[in-house]
Structure 1
């Protein structure tokens, strides 16, 4: 981003500080400008995929497999993967195409400017829940390898990510690119060795019946397992936090652009599902040696696998290295994405912008409390409950994009996120989300009987899918846009359908911003950026509502 020389701010407006150092803030609350997006599609994709190096998949796959058996677990993993891929695709496309994060997509896809605070909190919760899970796994590795007590391991795993998170996308891209080959080798190597040298391990894996004794595949067990796996559906938000830095899509790069979006967007779940299956395989392999409780711990799984192929003196150090690399790769992403989500929520509600680092520390504090409370011991219960909220949110937004935007044409095609352009609350997404998550949570806690309890994830998805277009039809799309004209003649999209790179200067912070990130300020006869709009307490920079009802109407569609 080209920055203008700082000038005194308008009286009563926020100082230039909030927008002055976007290298550290990584465009919190805002559109990511083209001038900052200098990575190739495949570098962005590699960075995004590096963030899914978490070990939680191994624990999740092991947990549902040891409980329900291999057949039910694999079916559950497949069901969840299909749902996550289908719902993640439109979200990833919108994030990469329009260079905005999932909260900004959610605002214009059925929730409204303040309505999406609900989902920002859901996503922020996702990041510290999984930070706590990964930190617990690392602490287990440090205890086994270095003898550190768990409480100290929790502290180490929490504070070691802070220096990396401070520097945002630039530091994260380097970290993910350089560590991914080592991580892949350490993860896949033991599996290939065991399959090749111990065929009996494959037979034990395939025939494992689970502790519930059902043996065969049954719907209740599959759906219970899928519910746990679907807690990861919100991972698409973290993928989009990287995909929003994709370069513009052009005729010259469209093949690599689409490849990167699919692989790093919904495609993350393919690797995630494989890791869950590997986790179950390794858990069955070490089950007789360590028992069912420890068999779900990745450090025990890989220690057992490495012991079969390496000298004894190398086993534990290598297992610890794998766990530490994995934890760093994912938890810098959890801390980074969580800080963005908390900042989004706080700034909209209070109209104060404290900076992203405040919420890095807040998110880490939440995660540390969960770790010290031994969240790992009741992992499946936490994830099973959380998945209902996450499913309701992601399915609602995906349905709004697919059905309401492209089929019913009641939702504007180009996502809108700026204050003044959106209604405070859009009942389309808010009603669908609250109804879907509320009813599915009631089912999960058996309020509607034991028989329906396994079906809570299905209920969350189906209710959100049905109510989202129904509410759009009932409201006739009136609550998506507060106005359609942002007061600037320059078009939002360029000839290729990408966000325009034309620049203007915000009259409040005196910084230069690209066209999609600004609106007119009629009060002062000038232009104001979205960040200054967010922090404008008086509201004199916010455009007035249009007279009469506003529907989405025709909008520019990307080619």
Structure 2
């Protein structure tokens, strides 16, 4: 049980394996929301928007971005609500939404892998900016873009909230100014934008729009990183109700409004460069050059270069602290459940950064793009399966328990509902991605992942009659789980294994009685490191 003692260092561990207690959640809804939105500062959206527009034309790109936004908002809402309302991350939500205690390790590894792949991609953009502006060699830029992140992520939410809030105004100014400048000083660029037909110039088509949407949908997993912040929302009360809902919606599913806007602006800047700078043909889809060329139109060259480098560095630090933070949580969570030992989040922070650095230094970006396309299918399958379980199985069919459960002993180890939904969705879409059903279907693999998950998840729940969700209905504790407003209770109970007080939602009765035969309590974290399972209550179902 030594691992449980490590969890006492809450400033470092940031509630890796359990719900975020009320005593820690001192931030306002606005601070949590702005911190979460700071994580979408990445510049990859500009490149994605430019790439799909150059390939398929403005009309198809705009429709594709619209489809992407609708899918992300529909799937993101139930996930964000559960995270903010019950103060748990997406892995904990996944456990009780069709996957089981160990079943969600599979999706957690999918997410953790995303974080270091995206870290490598975003770190490379920062390194390119440092090379362009300061002449720093790429290999050194990769190293700097990795090392600078470590001290910022050590103290978790307490440091990240300050970083994201303080840097957001400057980031917004640097990002919005070039777009506004073009609209005011080159109004003709709007007409050129809408008329742009892309490389094939074939006009708007269903296939072109769906191909564009498929590329954008690789970003659906971003909701998991939003949730790593949203779980720190304060309790919802009659007094803060409007702000709570507003910031939850904006920073949760609403992140895609900002993401979609960046994709549109990225395409707008690319079309402007293609139309006005013949030399820009090869660089119009690169965010560093997009902003540098527009800044040059606005201010002297030396200042334009400075502003471009500052924007790149701020953007990449904002997103990569989130990638590193979320990755360290996900890897620690999976490792602890599988091995029942708790090494601490910082161990996996180092691992995540080291893997990302190796990928960057090896310059494996052609390979990474293929891997990212492969992972997109897994990510979509996961997100849509969990969102469907909440929206359909919990609320519509009422088969899945409405209150999320994440504690070991309360859940079955594996639940076929999520595993079948995710497995069929990911499996079929990956086969299509690799061309097993022909070249014609290949680009549609992300959309197949969405449709299969939406159908297979409730179908499996109906077939199994929901009997694999809960191993027990009663956790053996008489103290209420929720307060009068439906928020997780802040009542404290002592864990008899660690001697540490934990809040009620984190506790479960131990199967080991006290000296006088009384009920003893054990925390979910201590129970997750119980190697022989002697504290597990017997199964009720």
Scaled to the shorter chain, the TM-score interval is: over 0.9
Name 1:228's counterpart in structure 2: 215
Aligned-residue offset at 1:199: 2.2
Distance 1:113 1:164 in 2: 31
Name 1:299's counterpart in structure 2: 288
Distance 2:511 2:439 in 1: 58
Out of 42, 62, 69, the residue aligned to residue 74 of structure 1 is 62
Contact 1:66 1:292 in 2 (8 A): no
Contact 2:3 2:529 in 1 (8 A): no
Name 1:411's counterpart in structure 2: 400
Name 2:347's counterpart in structure 1: 358
Distance 1:176 1:251 in 2: 28
Distance 2:500 2:394 in 1: 33
Distance 1:15 1:209 in 2: 58
Contact 2:235 2:487 in 1 (8 A): yes
Name 2:539's counterpart in structure 1: 545
Aligned-residue offset at 1:172: 0.4
Contact 1:112 1:480 in 2 (8 A): yes
Residue 509 of structure 2 aligns to a residue whose secondary structure is strand
Residue 294 of structure 1 aligns to a residue whose secondary structure is coil
Distance 1:308 1:377 in 2: 33
Aligned-residue offset at 1:313: 1.6
Q: Check if 1:116 corresponds to 2:116.
A: no
Out of 237, 240, 248, the residue aligned to residue 224 of structure 2 is 237
Distance 1:239 1:421 in 2: 27
Name 1:257's counterpart in structure 2: 244
Name 1:533's counterpart in structure 2: 527
Q: 1:359-393: CA deviations, max 9, x gaps?
A: 11111122122223435456654443222111111
Change (3 A) 1:289 1:24: farther
Distance 2:279 2:13 in 1: 45
Q: Would you identify which runs of 4 or more consecutive aligned residues in structure 1 move more than 6 Å?
A: none
Matches within 5 A, 1:101-140: 101-140=89-128
Q: CA RMSD in A?
A: 1.3
Out of 413, 428, 433, the residue aligned to residue 424 of structure 1 is 413
Out of 60, 67, 71, the residue aligned to residue 48 of structure 2 is 60
Distance 1:440 1:292 in 2: 33
Out of 417, 440, 465, the residue aligned to residue 451 of structure 1 is 440
Matches within 5 A, 1:147-166: 147-166=135-154
Out of 252, 267, 272, the residue aligned to residue 280 of structure 1 is 267
Distance 1:225 1:155 in 2: 33
Change (3 A) 1:343 1:243: same
Aligned-residue offset at 1:304: 0.7
Name 1:391's counterpart in structure 2: 380
Out of 156, 164, 180, the residue aligned to residue 192 of structure 1 is 180
Out of 309, 326, 343, the residue aligned to residue 337 of structure 1 is 326
Name 1:506's counterpart in structure 2: 495
Q: 1:285-325: CA deviations, max 9, x gaps?
A: 22344444422221101001101111112011110000000
Contact 2:18 2:524 in 1 (8 A): yes
Distance 2:314 2:71 in 1: 29
Residue 308 of structure 1 aligns to a residue whose secondary structure is helix
Residue 221 of structure 2 aligns to a residue whose secondary structure is helix
Residue 349 of structure 1 aligns to a residue whose secondary structure is helix
Residue 542 of structure 1 aligns to a residue whose secondary structure is coil
Contact 1:228 1:383 in 2 (8 A): no
Residue 2 of structure 2 aligns to a residue whose secondary structure is coil
Larger CA deviation: 104-113 vs 289-298: 289-298
Out of 11, 14, 17, the residue aligned to residue 26 of structure 1 is 14
Name 2:309's counterpart in structure 1: 320
Distance 2:95 2:468 in 1: 11
Distance 1:470 1:152 in 2: 52
Change (3 A) 1:390 1:155: same
Distance 2:209 2:367 in 1: 19
Residue 513 of structure 1 aligns to a residue whose secondary structure is strand
Contact 2:327 2:349 in 1 (8 A): yes
Name 1:172's counterpart in structure 2: 160
Distance 1:65 1:379 in 2: 22
Q: Check if 1:478 corresponds to 2:478.
A: no
State the aligned residue count: 534
Unaligned stretches of 5+ residues in structure 1: 1-12, 551-559
Larger CA deviation: 258-267 vs 16-25: 16-25
Distance 2:359 2:201 in 1: 33
Name 2:257's counterpart in structure 1: 270
Contact 1:63 1:380 in 2 (8 A): no
Q: Check if 1:36 corresponds to 2:24.
A: yes
Q: Check if 1:216 corresponds to 2:210.
A: no
Contact 1:132 1:375 in 2 (8 A): no
Q: What is the TM-score normalised by the length of structure 2?
A: 0.96
Aligned-residue offset at 1:201: 2.3
Q: 1:482-506: CA deviations, max 9, x gaps?
A: 1111111112111111111111011
